[in-house]
Amino acid sequence: MHPRTILLAAALGLMACARNTPATTTAPVSSTPRSVRLVVDAPPQETATFDKVREDIEVDTEEGERTPRVVTFGETPVLRRDGQRAQLYGDAKGTLGFSVDNFMLLEVLDAQNTVKRRAVVGFTDSVHMGKELVDNVGRRAFTFEPGEVDITELLPESDPFRIRVTILDSWGVGRVSDVYLVLSAEAPRAAEDDLRGN
């Protein structure tokens, strides 16, 4: 067979293989957990000693200031969820819970630095930003068990994002422990057989 014919046959064979390979439509979910610290521990301090306030926030409360004071804040680098579950912990290994007094405001920003989603976590009455009632994630409490607060639904599936966290206090004492975002593979779903009764 002529060398040019062999070369043409090989090229056509490769093209056929490439055409028959199914395209991957979703990024594979990483099984390696990743963690990033959202905010650093801030020891207890009387509310009145915090100078900075968030004028754009109003809390429905009868026991303190309606305009909360800023205890501390933090912001992540650019992240991608890539199908992983997103939960809050008190340490990078995902073994500890965390605490906050009164609450944390989570703001999810896109690549253009625009806030796309907001939520609050902690012990607070309704929180308003202008006409928007900010969603509360998790139960109304000061302390949370490891991984109890799941913010997966707040974050985009695969687009880049950052999280800005502001710890806010309305009365008494303001504080927060270390808080980490841990991204990990979704827990396997229970098989249908496990859901059936006897």
pLDDT digits (tens, 9 = 90+) for 99-150: 999 999 999 999 899 999 999 999 998 999 999 999 999 999 999 999 999 9
pLDDT digits (tens, 9 = 90+) for 75-87: 999 999 999 999 9
pLDDT at 64: 80
pLDDT at 30: 57
Structure token digits, residue 131: 């006409």
Structure confidence at residue 46 as a pLDDT band (50, 70, 90): very high
pLDDT at 65: 87
pLDDT at 190 over 90: no
Mean pLDDT over 193-198 rounds to 44
The total of other beta-carbon atoms located within 10 Å of residue 66's CB is: 13
Nearest Cα to Cα of residue 50 among 99, 128, 102 = 102
DSSP letter string over 13-79? Answer: HHHHHHHHSPPP-SPPPP-S-EEEEEE--EEEEEGGG---B-TT-EE--SSS-SSPEEEEEEE---B
The three-state secondary structure class of 7 is: helix
Structure confidence at residue 12 as a pLDDT band (50, 70, 90): very low
Structure confidence at residue 185 as a pLDDT band (50, 70, 90): confident
Q: In the predicted model, what is the mean pLDDT of the chain?
A: 84
Nearest Cα to Cα of residue 69 among 166, 164, 168 = 168
pLDDT at 62: 78
pLDDT at 188: 46
Structure confidence at residue 29 as a pLDDT band (50, 70, 90): low
Q: Is 191 exposed, middle or buried (0-12, 13-18, 19+ CB in 10 A)?
A: exposed
pLDDT at 90: 97
pLDDT at 155 over 80: yes
